[in-house]
């Protein structure tokens, strides 16, 4: 595949990453009749975040029938909310069934991607050599690089330290004293799993999350047979889940009073499961539900009620030998520290090694905050498509839905590129600027910005560059096709490719 030129290789499209975005893009290119592409993956298997996050209890908080490709329904889901293993196997199966295995390159890491102005193509430097491509697609995702805060003294800690996204399965937790830093989605899932094993568990909580019941169950054999025999039933169920989740937007965006019902549900859940009034006060959020990610769990609160668990309502400020010290001075001796502190989302590391016109990196073009047109294309970066880009994240619905819309937008741009014979396609700066101004205006008065809400959705400037601020069907309606008026097509391709 592709044409090797010395130590270089030329292909039509390079896709970096093999999670839902990368696999979905590869499948869509094949369905478009494009075979001249490769998928670069630094690891040894597909799966993205569902390959890397193997912590105990890892599972999705979006129902299985919606958290999957629309063109590849899976009648064999074991649970209403899929476990990590199921989702990873689903992606493996998609690579086999849609014939993209031969396009995958494992163990290949992108070190730098540079736009070559003279040749009108991308020069992609990897640990295995250089690949040149007419089109470069970043599908590396926002949840790929774990974030460990800079804690003074951490480097001198004599015990074991790891992030939940890089779980150390070789370390025996049984009988250990463990500090867990963070109370996000991963902590809510793995804390109940490790609590029965450890001697002591100290949970460092800066802000308690809103937690609602997880309506999970195993699918029965007859249900899975019905999904296989009547595909329309599964599609209808997917639709019901989708539209039910879209209703959250009414409270998130249009009238925050609607969220009171959800707060009551979460409050009753807390009261039923935590009888100790002191602990219950520690676990009661003081912000409107939805400001931060809403979490689903039936066993998180019961785990925190166990006698070997202590909730410390203060962030970890320093490490002193084998002691972890909270910002309020609370100190505890521990054998291991597990960080559940999320990922580099608003400062994605890949932005530092993707260079567009004039050698400008994405990070440099985003000094005032991340932005892209439809979350997918960036001014100054020709023939470049960013899947899971700025303002495409969700707090209520399936991320796979957004990925598919972005893929359609990218493929439509590539289609125009091929049909026109142009050398480049690039979003106009004024179109990108106007689009992002509308997106930021849409956040005004929403649950994510009012009442002093602070979350990982916001960047250092206080702008929400992470979420899409509204109904996902509107994103689909406006973004699935490119608007030629918003794009610049470069001069016709004049280069003779060897």
Domain with 470 in it: 3-145+344-489
User: Same domain for 296 and 180?
Assistant: yes
Q: Are 48 and 20 in contact (CB under 8 A)?
A: yes
Q: What is the pLDDT of residue 342?
A: 83
SS3 84: helix
What is the full per-residue pLDDT of the chain (498 aa) written as tens digits?
443 433 578 999 999 999 999 999 999 999 999 999 999 999 999 999 999 999 999 999 999 999 999 999 999 999 999 999 999 999 999 999 999 999 999 999 999 999 999 999 999 999 999 999 999 999 997 777 788 889 999 999 999 999 999 999 999 999 999 999 999 999 999 999 999 999 999 999 999 999 999 999 999 999 999 999 999 999 999 999 999 999 999 999 998 888 889 999 999 999 999 999 999 999 999 888 988 899 999 999 999 999 999 999 998 999 999 999 999 999 999 999 999 998 776 667 788 999 999 999 999 999 988 999 999 999 999 999 999 999 999 989 999 999 999 999 999 999 999 999 999 999 999 999 999 999 999 999 898 887 667 777 888 888 899 999 999 999 999 999 999 999 999 876 444 333
How far is residue 368 from each of residues 439, 444, 459, 463, measured CA to CA in Å? 15, 19, 10, 10
User: Same domain for 167 and 307?
Assistant: yes
Asked whether residue 243 is assigned to any structural domain, the reply reads no
Count of structural domains within the chain: 2
Give the global pTM. Answer: 0.93
323-326 β-sheet, strand order = 316-320, 323-326, 331-333
Separation of alpha carbons 488 and 102, rounded Å: 33
CATH of the domain at 326: 3.50.50.60
Q: What is the pLDDT of residue 496?
A: 34
- Burial environment of residue 323 by CB neighbours within 10 A (0 to 12, 13 to 18, 19 or more): middle
Write the CB contacts of 278 (distance below 8 Å, at least 6 apart in sequence): none
User: Same domain for 356 and 458?
Assistant: yes
| Domain boundary residue, one of 319, 339, 359 | 339
Q: Are 487 and 425 in contact (CB under 8 A)?
A: yes
DSSP code of residue 322: T
Q: What is the pLDDT of residue 495?
A: 40
Closest CA to 188 of 296, 344, 306: 296
| Domain boundary residue, one of 321, 339, 357 | 339
User: Same domain for 167 and 121?
Assistant: no
Q: What is the pLDDT of residue 317?
A: 95
Separation of alpha carbons 233 and 228, rounded Å: 9
DSSP code of residue 426: E
């Amino acid at each position: 595949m592709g044409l090797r030129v010395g130590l270089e290789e030329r292909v039509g499209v390079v896709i970096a990453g093999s999670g839902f975005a990368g696999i979905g893009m590869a499948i869509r290119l094949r369905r478009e009749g494009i075979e001249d592409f490769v998928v670069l993956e630094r690891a040894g298997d597909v799966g993205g975040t569902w390959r890397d996050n193997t912590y105990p209890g890892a599972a999705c908080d979006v129902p299985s029938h919606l958290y999957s490709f629309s063109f590849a329904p899976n009648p064999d889901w074991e649970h209403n909310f899929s476990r990590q293993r199921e989702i990873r196997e689903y992606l493996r199966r998609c690579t086999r069934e849609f014939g993209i295995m031969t396009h995958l390159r494992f163990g290949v890491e992108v070190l730098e991607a540079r736009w070559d102005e003279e040749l009108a193509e991308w020069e992609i430097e990897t640990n295995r050599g250089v690949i040149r491509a007419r089109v470069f697609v970043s599908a590396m995702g926002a949840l790929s690089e774990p974030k460990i805060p800079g804690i003074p003294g951490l480097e001198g800690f004599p015990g074991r330290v790891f992030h939940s996204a890089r779980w150390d399965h070789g370390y025996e937790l049984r009988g250990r004293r463990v500090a867990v830093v963070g109370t996000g989605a991963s902590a809510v899932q793995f804390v109940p799993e490790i609590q029965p094993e450890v001697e002591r568990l100290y949970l460092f909580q800066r802000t308690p999350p809103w937690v609602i019941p997880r309506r999970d169950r195993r699918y029965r054999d007859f249900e899975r047979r019905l999904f296989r025999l009547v595909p329309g039933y599964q599609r209808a169920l997917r639709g019901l889940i989708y539209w039910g989740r879209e209703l959250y937007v009414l409270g998130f965006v249009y009238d925050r009073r609607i969220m009171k019902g959800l707060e009551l549900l979460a409050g009753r859940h807390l009261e039923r499961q935590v009888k100790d009034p002191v602990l219950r006060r520690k676990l009661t959020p003081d912000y409107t539900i939805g400001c931060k990610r809403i979490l689903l769990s039936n066993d998180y609160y019961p785990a925190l009620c166990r006698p070997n668990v202590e909730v410390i309502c203060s962030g970890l400020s320093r490490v002193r030998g084998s002691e972890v010290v909270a910002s309020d001075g609370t100190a505890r001796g521990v054998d291991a520290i597990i960080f559940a502190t999320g990922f580099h989302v608003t400062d994605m590391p890949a932005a530092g090694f993707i260079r567009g016109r004039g050698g400008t990196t994405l990070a440099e073009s985003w000094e005032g905050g991340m932005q892209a047109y439809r979350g997918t294309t960036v001014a100054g970066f020709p023939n470049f498509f960013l899947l899971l880009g700025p303002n495409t994240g969700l707090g209520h619905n399936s991320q796979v839905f957004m990925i598919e819309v972005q893929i359609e937008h990218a493929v439509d741009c590539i289609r125009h590129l091929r049909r026109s014979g142009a050398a480049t396609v690039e979003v106009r700066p004024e179109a990108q600027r106007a689009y992002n101004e509308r997106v930021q205006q849409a956040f005004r008065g929403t649950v994510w910005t009012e009442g002093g809400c602070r979350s990982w959705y916001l960047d250092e400037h206080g702008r929400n560059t992470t979420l899409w601020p509204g109904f996902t069907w509107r994103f689909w309606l406006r973004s699935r096709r490119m608007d030629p008026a918003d794009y610049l097509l470069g001069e016709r391709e004049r280069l003779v490719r060897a």
